[in-house]
Structure 1
């Protein structure tokens, strides 16, 4: 009799485990409010970096084009083609520190494009153009540029900034969802058990590791030194079933007013979060290791910040019947605003309207596809420039 009961016991045990996993991953409160409206991280650095990222000559009427590049990128001369339309602010992250240089510099080559973007905001906070700012990477041709030829120059030439900013004051430059977390079926919640298990099984994958690290990073950044005890009017921890949906690749346009929703000190704190987690040779100002700082792996730290831009910049609406404070964020609304339909996006941002093949919300056939292994052929720039 005992042998006959064993399969039943195993089945019941498996069902219980499966139920527990589904229960823990279920979002019990779909209308959760998150206190992600103010950076509260406290740095333990002895001093702050000097301001060497002041972009000269910024004027209200001309949008700034903030470019984060490294020496391995192609020569930035391609930007000269659009210098009449944008005020160029080019940061070379791996340039040697030189206090006498007139070139725009960052405190450290850390966090990928985030260090240049934050340095621009911090050092030019009072002179950000009323026309807005566009933030891009330094390579003209790259797999993440949402163009049939992966050409960022073509995107920047056709970008309609006023139309892009009209809905909420911020817009990612990508329209296709294929490299995003917008599709629920392709991107599990960052705090889910599935993501945690994958991080254990795939410690070499920076995407999985950064997704797994995102819940605690958000809690530290927005909750301060003791996020577990934070009483800020909303959640700071991302729940098991709560997902941050957003576009890929940290290239975006944002209005001055949306940048100034946060104080300069908040951007300094976010940059210090990156610097505090850097190796000592990159951040000599850090006296002691800060356990709440950004992950040491630069690929992971940079990708976590790429999740933050739309959280910081999207302006949400609060209706009287929502029952939440204006100082909190509605995650469902945020996810919806961060992932507009591809056809609407292409039309509004780039004037590519009435496109064929837009049968799904996240794709219009013929507009973009991920190249094999996320890499362009070595001769792509030479053959398409």
Structure 2
């Protein structure tokens, strides 16, 4: 049966309306489902509102700082991912521990990242940028929290550099407290009675690096894993000689690489802040303030650890 022009017009309008409706449904779901699936939370933590406003002012009134990215690596490591970083005024310095012909290398392949860091601190003392980032070579190490996608490039790209420059001066890139705060290491432990392998070595390492007259704290606390950011001012709180002493101590030590790296893992806060503990900033607050990854409550943050979700501010 032939359709009248009016019927055909109505059919076309119905088809057009259906297409528009389906298109709207598609775009709505495409934008809403990721938020539902990953629990995206677009807000700033209420406790940090004043700091957030202060930091926004810093970001708009200051020029981009100069930044060095110091990478502790071996020849076998793939660090090509660093070329995708978009940090302004960034200079990448890849230290290769097992290649003495590399442009940047430590005196020996020893002490894990610690010897590389001290080599840089000594050699660049008079030519430091505004901020130096010290990291390991892997883009996806376990050291980076799941809330930061276990991805170093994601963490560095979202890192709040003005906050470090103007307020913190030293910032451990890992903010999880669970294994480190308020007290992780007991420096009174002996070789016959210890929980962490480095504990019996801590008191001797402390005195060797900070002086025989330096009181050794009974406990040390802070997030792990020797990846951090430090300002030029924090580095120069100590004389260049301090970094030469610590560099040479690692070179001359008979301790294993693992122990040398791990004792320093607990002493970086003392070196740059004069504090034995780095437990003054809560995990949830640091995630929001320093990375823009925010959660409504401690319970919500705890829930992401078991299901892999993340929040964002």
- Residue 27 of structure 2 aligns with which residue? none
RMSD (CA atoms): 2.5
How far apart, in 2, do the equivalents of 1:305 and 1:358 lie? 30
- Does the 8 Å CA contact 1:146/1:368 hold for their aligned counterparts? no
Shift of 1:306: 1.4
- Structure 1 residue ranges without an equivalent (≥5): 1-59, 279-295, 315-328, 372-385
- Residue 21 of structure 2 aligns with which residue? none
Question: Aligned pair in 2 of structure 1 residues 84, 159: CA closer, same or farther (>3 Å)?
Answer: closer
Question: Aligned pair in 2 of structure 1 residues 219, 201: CA closer, same or farther (>3 Å)?
Answer: closer
How far apart, in 2, do the equivalents of 1:167 and 1:113 lie? 26
- Residue 224 of structure 2 aligns with which residue? 248
- Does the 8 Å CA contact 2:87/2:157 hold for their aligned counterparts? no
Shift of 1:83: 5.6
After TM superposition, the structure 1 = structure 2 runs for residues 1-385 of structure 1, keeping only pairs within 5 Å, are: 61-73=65-77, 75-82=78-85, 85=88, 86-95=90-99, 97-98=100-101, 101=102, 103-130=103-130, 132-148=131-147, 149-180=149-180, 182-184=181-183, 187=184, 189-191=186-188, 195-196=189-190, 199-200=191-192, 208-223=196-211, 227=212, 230=213, 235-238=214-217, 242-278=218-254, 296-314=255-273, 334-335=276-277, 337-353=278-294, 355-359=295-299, 364-366=301-303
TM-superposition CA deviations, 1:84-112 (whole Å, max 9, x none)? 532111111112x23xx5x2121111111
- Does the 8 Å CA contact 1:110/1:275 hold for their aligned counterparts? yes
How far apart, in 2, do the equivalents of 1:117 and 1:367 lie? 33
- Does the 8 Å CA contact 2:114/2:260 hold for their aligned counterparts? no
Question: Aligned pair in 2 of structure 1 residues 312, 338: CA closer, same or farther (>3 Å)?
Answer: farther
Secondary structure, aligned partner of 2:92? strand
Question: Aligned pair in 2 of structure 1 residues 104, 367: CA closer, same or farther (>3 Å)?
Answer: farther
TM-score (norm 2): 0.70
- Does the 8 Å CA contact 1:141/1:152 hold for their aligned counterparts? yes
How far apart, in 1, do the equivalents of 2:87 and 2:298 lie? 34
- Structure 2 residue ranges without an equivalent (≥5): 1-63, 309-313
TM-score (norm 1): 0.58
How far apart, in 2, do the equivalents of 1:215 and 1:161 lie? 34
- Does the 8 Å CA contact 2:177/2:279 hold for their aligned counterparts? no
Shift of 1:310: 0.9
- Does the 8 Å CA contact 1:165/1:171 hold for their aligned counterparts? no
How far apart, in 1, do the equivalents of 2:159 and 2:303 lie? 19
Q: Which has the higher helix share?
A: 2
Q: Once superposed, which parts of structure 1, at least 4 consecutive aligned residues long, lie more than 4 Å away?
A: 366-369
Question: Aligned pair in 2 of structure 1 residues 145, 213: CA closer, same or farther (>3 Å)?
Answer: same
Secondary structure, aligned partner of 2:302? coil
Aligned residues: 242
Shift of 1:66: 0.8
Secondary structure, aligned partner of 1:87? strand
Secondary structure, aligned partner of 2:72? strand
Shift of 1:190: 2.5
Shift of 1:368: 5.1
